[in-house]
Amino acid sequence: MTLKKISFLFPGQGSQFVGMGRDLAETIPAAREIFSQADEVCSRPVSRLCFEGPMEELTRTENLQPAITAVNLACLEALREAGIRADVSAGHSLGEYAALVSGGVVSARDALRLVRKRGEVMDREAQAHPGSMAAVMGLDLETVKEIVSEASDAGVVAVANHNTPRQIVITGERGAVSKAANLVRERKGKAIPLKVSGAWHCSLMAEGVSELREFMEQIPFEVPKTPILFNATAREESDPAAIRDIMARQLTGPVYWYGIIERMLEEGVDVFVEVGPKKVLTGLLKKILPSDSPARVYNVEGKESLERVVQALG
């Protein structure tokens, strides 16, 4: 029997829903402990916001980042308790912090400390330097880069995410993003405004990078026990100091998600498990995997989906 090569993929902002993680907290002590740690570390009722909302408060950046991370980590603990572990991990933007835990770089508690700080920094920078984001559909990366370059005379604009071959997110100052969106439409692509509270992954976040990097010096980073593919490079990194730099620069740099999945396929990953709320990354995978790919795709966001994955992989 051929051994499976399993990847864990952790979602980021945009995957939230009221009620997320509640059934895991009610039935799995290790998951419940994650939520207790989140409440303690963040000095706010993260677990209540996850389980009960309201959505308006949950989606505030400084609340949402610990909340999504807590659910990701609760799902991770549930999988570990069931004896399922990743051979390689990755996380989409915010999800990269749960990937650090999966790969053995930081503890769950320290990941929660990091995302609390990250959420506070990003919320502050978004208020100081407001902007917007848009999803571009139907154009390739090189074309979108050309559009971004052309629109840059209207202000800051950049590629934020390369999610699939023809799904790319742009970010920046509102006027520049609007100009880029018009250029996208001229080239027969689609540009869909995103409901976000800031222009993530561009230079509007630059003033937060050194502060986040300095905070990371307080957190022990270890050499990964299993590989992690990082957003900024779509490659592995094993040096803890380099990982700190990558994670700090992530605030202003693009997420090369498509490149991460391509590399996993090249390295023989044949099982993808989305570990966290909703199925955003599962949807992206279906647009990346070849139609004849034998790879299997699962998600774990609660007790029922956990049981299905354990039955399939345990």
Dist CA 46 CA 123 (whole Å): 17
Does the active-site annotation cover 93? yes
Catalytic residue among 93, 178, 197, 203: 93
Classify 44 in phi/psi space as left (phi over 0), alpha (psi -120 to 50) or beta.
beta
> Structure tokens of 297?
């795709």
Residue among 176, 179, 171 at smallest CA distance from 197: 171
Catalytic residue among 7, 162, 201, 203: 201
- N-term to C-term CA, the chain: 14
Beta strand segments in the chain, E: 6-10, 88-91, 132-137, 157-164, 167-172, 190-193, 271-275, 296-300
Dist CA 156 CA 83 (whole Å): 46
Question: Torsion over CA of 145, 148, 150 and 153, rounded to 10 degrees?
Answer: -150
Does the active-site annotation cover 92? no
Residue among 34, 220, 10, 216 at smallest CA distance from 98: 10
What are the catalytic residues?
93, 201
